[in-house]
A and B are shown apart, each in its own frame.
Chain A
Amino acid sequence: MQDSLKSSSYQQLEQKSKYTNMFLRWFLYFILILFASYFIFPLYVMVVTSLKTMEEIRQGTLLSWPSGLNLDSWAVAWGGRGYGAGDTFLRPYFWNSIKMVVPAVFFSTFIGAMTGYVLTKWRFKGDQWVFLFLLFGCFIPFQAILLPMARTLGVLGISNSVVGLVLVHTVYGIPFTTLFFRNYYVSVPTELVKAARIDGAGFFKIFFKILLPISAPIIVVTVIWQFTQIWNDFLFGSTFSFGEAAPIQVALNNMVLSSTSVKEYNVDMASAIIAGIPTLIVYVLAGKYFIRGLTSGAVKG
């Protein structure tokens, strides 16, 4: 008797909680979609603005749809208007960035793999201190090295050049690449290495035959992290290069700030998308690895 009473009131309660639950679900989706629109809004505005003419921009609002697929401002942003002086466009700077990113990512990743390998598989006395010594490099505010770096690049004769930027990005990437590889190799069983050593395999043979073949995931994480950081860098680019050697972010900023005649927002937005597209593509294609790098190398910001 008592049992049945209990169960019926329980059913009522369950019924009620079903409605609250449904309401909660709707609320949940509402909030999630609200935030999604906040995050997507600037990208949407950038894309539609880049497809409008300046006339359309003045007539319509931020959100209004472009009248057609008008790629003129993309052409201007990428290749210029075709007259001489003062015609800045992104193509040469895009290539500067490529020429800077590829070697810098390669060297910093390679060095990081080597140091990570030594720090975990060829341990020596005080290696933890060496790791800490390198790790600290992740955290320094770069303002504290800007002045001596500018002078050093001058002395070496590579200020205002892509080579100089490759050096800078390689050096300041090492702490991060070391961190990535060290944390990855720590979980590789040392017995494998020991067995190989007993078989007479040397330092490099062990690295190339045992460690490297299983390193694909961490190489992807490191390459994506370094690529994103270096491609998006502005501080080093704007401090150590100007004019023709500038990387794309610096060129984008100069283009947007140049106050010649009328502001062309459509060209600005097309330029911004061009400067952002390589990292966006990487993010969409390899988001998983991007997030992994972000959460383990996040200290940089």
Chain B
Amino acid sequence: MFKWLEKNLPKIVMAPAVGLIGWFVYGFVLWTLYISFTNSKILPKYELWGVGQYVKLWGSRKWLIAVDNLLIFTALFLIFCVVIGIILAIFLDQKIRAEGILRTIYLYPMALSFIVTGTAWKWILNPTLGIQKMFRDWGFENFTFDWLVDREMAIYTIVIAGVWQSAGFVMALFLAGLRSVEDEIVKAAKIDGASLFTVYWKILLPMMRPVFFTSFVILVHISIKSYDLIVALTQGGPGISTTMPALYMTQTAFHKSQVGLSAASAMMMFMAVAAVIIPYLYSELRRENAR
């Protein structure tokens, strides 16, 4: 008995973690998947109902708006974060004075919660006392910046706050990537007469392909899950103009009590994340095995 215990101790120590994840991650996802095929309203029902919830979901105007917003947000969030991140990383890489302080400033928003970020930007962007008033007081009397209360433009305020929060992070990833390149490569290229611009554009940035890939995966992941920022900044408004899938899911589940429908929307999010993550995990594993 004691022998057996000793021999299997490592597995016994692993068991709680495996059990917890098995139950709370895999079991729960399967439960949600099952419920998405039932006609559950306030309480879950367990008779199968088919794909009715998915049909209902893709016929819902609010969900379509949410998906539309997600696409707009993801595209802009990606582009701005990556472009700003790369520019800052390359510039910081030029033996800059006070690099440490600048880096700290670029990255500190990552330490704040999206609720804090949203609260701050909501105040800055509010038309009555925020930026709009600031410019008007400075003499630009026709200056208008009321995106926060404009149905068409409100989604872009979420982009502004989101980029503010995450661009520094992309900078950190690229800076680490650039610093890991051998100095010899850059020196050799310079001796061959390549300008600094060419060195970065033709040699270093193409070498950063894995960093691009990582940033892409992380940023898409953040944007699919984005919830807190919208709650704090717009609550999905004005109207439903800034709804996103994560917000749709919780509202449908906990305010509208449409458990089956919200499970279907959660599974759509799950599939979207899986479509990005599985190729990523696959390539990471291959890289690790190749080492």
Binding site for B on A (CB under 8 A): 28-29, 31-32, 35-36, 38-43, 45-46, 49, 57-58, 61-63, 111, 114-115, 117-119, 122, 124, 130, 132-137, 139-149, 151, 171-172, 174-175, 178, 202-203, 228, 231-235, 238-239, 249, 252-253, 256-257, 265, 268-269, 271-273, 275-276, 279-280, 282-284, 287, 290-291, 294-295, 298-301
With beta carbons under 8 angstroms apart, the residue of A63, A146, A203, A257 that contacts B13 is A203
Inter-subunit contact B102/A276 (CB<8 Å):
no
Contacts of A294 in B (CB 8 A): 110, 169, 172
Main SS of the interface on chain B?
A: helix
- The closest CB in chain B to the CB of A204 belongs to B9
Q: A137-B21, A203-B10, A256-B232 are in contact. Are A143 and B87 (CB under 8 A)?
A: no
The answer to whether B14 and A144 have CB atoms under 8 Å apart is: no
A295 engages B266 (CB within 8 Å)? no
On chain B, the residues within 8 Å of A275 by CB distance are 113, 115-116
Which residues of A are found within 8 Å of B130, using beta-carbon distances? 62
**Chain A residues near B84 (CB-CB < 8 A):** 35
Contact A203 B9 (CB under 8 A): yes
B142 to chain A, nearest CB (A): 17
Bound Cα distance A149, B20 (Å)? 12
Q: Mark B266-287, 1 if CB is under 8 A from A, else 0.
A: 1101100110010001000100
Specify which chain A residues have a CB less than 8 angstroms from the CB of B168 in the assembled complex. 39
In the complex the two chains form, is A39's CB within 8 Å of B106's CB? yes
Cβ-neighbour of B21 out of A63, A171, A232, A284 (below 8 A): A171
Q: CB-CB contacts of B242-275 with A at 8 A, as 1s and 0s?
A: 0001100110011000010011011101100110
Pick from B67-75, B202-210, B219-227 the stretch touching chain A. B219-227
Residues of A within 8 A of B155 (CB): none
Q: Are A299 and B254 in contact (CB under 8 A)?
A: no
Question: Which of B22-30, B57-65, B146-154, B182-190 binds A?
Answer: B22-30
Give the Cβ gap from B5 to chain A, nearest Cβ, in Å.
10
Interface SS of A by simple majority? helix
Verify if B1 is at the interface (C-beta below 8 Å from A): no
Please list 7 pairs of residues, one from A and one from B, whose beta carbons are closer than 8 Å in the complex, sorted by A's number.
A35-B87, A174-B17, A228-B111, A232-B116, A279-B112, A295-B172, A301-B221
Distance in angstroms between the alpha carbons of A41 and B121 in the assembled complex: 10
Since A57-B129, A61-B133, A148-B28 are in contact, a sample of 13 more A-B pairs with Cβ atoms closer than 8 Å, ordered by chain A residue number, is A32-B92, A32-B102, A49-B123, A117-B13, A119-B14, A122-B10, A132-B281, A134-B21, A137-B21, A145-B24, A146-B266, A290-B111, A298-B169
Q: Which residue of B lies closest to A269 (CB)?
A: B123
Question: Are B231 and A148 touching (Cβ within 8 A)?
Answer: no
* B112 and A280 contact, CB distance less than 8 A: yes
Residue from A63, A147, A253 in contact with B259 in the complex, judged by beta carbons closer than 8 Å = A147
Cβ–Cβ < 8 Å partners of B31 in chain A:
147-148
Task: Knowing A235-B227, A299-B217 are in contact, say whether A272-B21 is a contact too (CB < 8 A).
Answer: no
On whether A295 and B173 interact (CB within 8 A), knowing A28-B91, A283-B108, the answer reads yes
- Given A141-B225, A265-B123, the answer on whether A232 and B112 have CB atoms closer than 8 Å is yes
Are B16's CB and A141's CB within 8 A?
no
